[in-house]
């Protein structure tokens, strides 16, 4: 037995029952002639036992080897009865030529994704890609703010395809970068390419972070991976916080690849969708919330569904801890940090009036279609603060500001958020406006 294998067995021994270890693992004999770092063969007394150990322990063994050596080997358990037969050899070889699918989060699937106007198109595109990978929508590019379900959809595509026998590699762009650097350092780029180019689907979450590597080899490698995989009929799906047009730090040729398939956004959920999601999540958590409480959470919390989920979990935990029934009062007190109650009394007119006074722009101009820079900015601030501070729905805000529909509202909101991210002064100005609007209301 090699030194490393002794260590691997020691580690496995810690995580399984002593009699399991003695019965199955201890008796395994390493076949030194057949084994290589990436392909390790063990022998045991009979075929049935070999099959059992293969299914139950091979993956864990492989992971422990990977931890110790940096190389994740294929583990083959076979028997002393006869030599590794031809069929085993063949499948072992075939497996070596194909990468293993990534292990995905099983609970992210299409069946528990709530569909509404805000995500319908993204959902339909994702389903279509999952059913027909590499065909119509390639690449599929899904963008939207944090917590709106991009990763959920991406993983749903992956889970669906793995179930249908496809090979799926799913990584964040950061994992892709780290993986690339790891294989460069270890001079194992052939393995890296096998993994990323011989897959049926490549799913890359949060591609925006690849923009931090402009001018580095990683983008070039991603470009080549993209081209080669697509040429071979592989499907690519990416998610991002922004559409390709305004992504920063990317080479032009990559952006044009991102745009060459179909692009879809996920916008903040409308009230009905939010309510449906809260209902579903509370059912999943086996907690009963009255419709009043569901409505309270939906109207008072922001649009980030991750935050809504954590609020529901918190509610659940506190009610168990304090053995208290979940009433509206209880909900309000538990969630007071998460919820800054919207002043029901703030109206869009209040917002516009304050902005008009502070920025010295006529209310009618703010609502007009003027393209003058200062007016466009004031209008965007107005839209943003109307969404943030009033109880109006997106369509209602759209019609008030004379916009086509709710997606125009989210476009304006996204835009002003970006500008605020870039320009600290603008951010402070908008915060001051927000405080003035709320103060004006409270002093009434």
What are the residues binding ligand ADP (CB under 6 A)?
Answer: 113-114, 119, 144, 146-152, 277, 305-306, 309
DSSP string computed for 182-203: HHHHTT-HHHHHHHHHS-SEEE
Stretch that binds Mg ion, among 96-104, 143-151, 326-334, 377-385 (CB under 5 A): 143-151
Cβ at position 385, least distance to Mg ion in Å: 27
Q: Please identify, using beta-carbon distances, which residue of 150 and 183 lies nearer to Mg ion.
A: 150
Cβ at position 208, least distance to Mg ion in Å: 11
Q: Are strands 39-44 and 29-30 parallel, antiparallel or unpaired?
A: antiparallel
* CA-closest candidate to residue 36, choices 76, 90, 67, 83: 76
**Partner from Mg ion, ligand ADP, none binding residue 257, C-beta < 5-8 Å depending on class:** none
Residue in the shown chain whose Cβ atom is closest to Mg ion: 151
Strand order in the sheet with 262-265: 168-172, 201-205, 235-240, 140-143, 262-265
Q: Please identify, using beta-carbon distances, which residue of 13 and 309 lies nearer to Mg ion.
A: 309
**Partner from ligand ADP, Mg ion, none binding residue 387, C-beta < 5-8 Å depending on class:** none
**Partner from Mg ion, ligand ADP, none binding residue 394, C-beta < 5-8 Å depending on class:** none
Token reading at 48: 């049935």
**Partner from ligand ADP, Mg ion, none binding residue 156, C-beta < 5-8 Å depending on class:** none
Task: Evaluate whether 171 touches 204 at the Cβ level (below 8 Å).
Answer: yes
Stretch that binds Mg ion, among 85-93, 147-155, 301-309, 388-396 (CB under 5 A): 147-155
Exactly one of 151, 347, 390, 410 binds Mg ion (CB under 5 A); that residue is 151
Q: Are strands 140-143 and 39-44 parallel, antiparallel or unpaired?
A: unpaired
Q: Please identify, using beta-carbon distances, which residue of 79 and 151 lies nearer to ligand ADP.
A: 151
- The residues, any chain, with a CB within 8 Å of residue 8's CB and separated by 6 or more, are 61, 64, 65, 68
**Partner from ligand ADP, Mg ion, none binding residue 119, C-beta < 5-8 Å depending on class:** ligand ADP
Q: Please identify, using beta-carbon distances, which residue of 238 and 375 lies nearer to ligand ADP.
A: 238
156 binds Mg ion (CB under 5 A): no
Residue in the shown chain whose Cβ atom is closest to ligand ADP: 149
Cβ at position 115, least distance to ligand ADP in Å: 7
Q: What are phi and psi of 118, to 5 degrees?
A: -70, -25
Q: Are strands 201-205 and 235-240 parallel, antiparallel or unpaired?
A: parallel
Cβ at position 394, least distance to ligand ADP in Å: 16
Q: What are phi and psi of 15, to 5 degrees?
A: -105, 0
199 binds Mg ion (CB under 5 A): no
Q: Fill in the DSSP letter of residue 207.
A: G
**Partner from Mg ion, ligand ADP, none binding residue 366, C-beta < 5-8 Å depending on class:** none
Radius of gyration of the chain measured on its C-alpha atoms: 28
264 binds Mg ion (CB under 5 A): no
Cβ at position 281, least distance to ligand ADP in Å: 7
Number of residues engaging Mg ion in binding (CB under 5 A): 2
DSSP string computed for 105-145: -TT--GGGPPP-TTTHHHHHHHHHHHHSTTSSS-SEEEE--
Cα–Cα distance for residue pair 399/224, rounded to 1 Å: 46
155 binds Mg ion (CB under 5 A): no
Give residues in contact with Mg ion (CB under 5 A).
150-151
């Amino acid at each position: 037995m090699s030194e490393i294998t002794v260590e691997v067995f020691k580690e496995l021994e810690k995580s399984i029952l002593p009699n399991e270890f003695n019965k199955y693992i201890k008796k395994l004999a390493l076949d030194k002639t057949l084994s290589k770092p990436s392909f390790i063969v063990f022998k045991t007394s009979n075929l049935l036992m070999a099959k059992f150990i293969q299914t139950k322990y091979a993956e864990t063994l492989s992971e422990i080897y990977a931890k110790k050596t940096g190389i994740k080997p294929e583990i083959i358990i076979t028997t002393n009865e006869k030599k590794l037969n031809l069929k085993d050899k063949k499948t072992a070889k075939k497996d070596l030529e194909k990468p293993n699918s990534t292990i995905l989060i099983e609970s992210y699937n299409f069946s528990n994704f709530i569909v509404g106007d805000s995500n319908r198109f993204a959902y339909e595109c994702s389903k279509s890609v999952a059913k027909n990978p590499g065909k119509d929508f390639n690449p599929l590019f899904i963008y939207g703010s944090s917590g709106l379900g991009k990763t959920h959809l991406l993983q749903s595509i992956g889970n669906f395809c793995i179930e249908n026998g496809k090979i799926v590699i799913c990584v964040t762009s950061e994992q892709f970068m780290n993986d690339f650097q790891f294989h460069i350092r270890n001079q194992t780029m052939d393995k890296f390419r096998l993994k990323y180019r011989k897959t049926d689907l490549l799913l890359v979450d949060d591609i925006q972070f690849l923009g931090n590597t402009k001018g580095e080899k990683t983008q070039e490698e991603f470009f080549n991976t993209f081209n080669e995989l697509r040429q071979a009929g592989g499907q690519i799906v990416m998610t991002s916080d922004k559409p390709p047009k305004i992504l920063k730090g990317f080479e032009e040729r990559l952006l044009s690849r991102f745009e060459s398939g179909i692009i879809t956004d996920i916008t903040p959920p409308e009230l009905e969708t939010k309510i449906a999601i809260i209902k579903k999540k509370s059912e999943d958590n086996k907690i009963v919330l009255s419709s009043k409480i569901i409505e309270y959470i939906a109207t008072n919390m922001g649009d980030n569904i991750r935050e809504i989920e954590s609020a529901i979990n918190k509610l659940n935990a506190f009610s168990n801890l304090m053995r208290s029934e979940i009433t509206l009062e209880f909900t309000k007190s538990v969630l007071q940090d998460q919820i800054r109650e919207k002043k029901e009394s703030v109206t869009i007119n209040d917002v516009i009036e304050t902005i008009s006074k502070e920025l010295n722009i006529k209310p009618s101009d703010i609502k007009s279609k003027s393209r003058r820079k200062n007016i466009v900015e004031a209008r965007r601030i107005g839209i943003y603060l109307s969404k943030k501070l009033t109880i109006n729905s997106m369509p209602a805000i759209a019609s008030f500001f004379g916009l086509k529909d709710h997606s125009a509202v989210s476009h304006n909101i996204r835009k002003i958020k970006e500008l605020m991210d870039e320009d600290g002064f603008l951010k402070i100005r908008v915060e001051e406006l927000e405080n003035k609007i709320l103060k004006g209301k409270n002093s009434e």
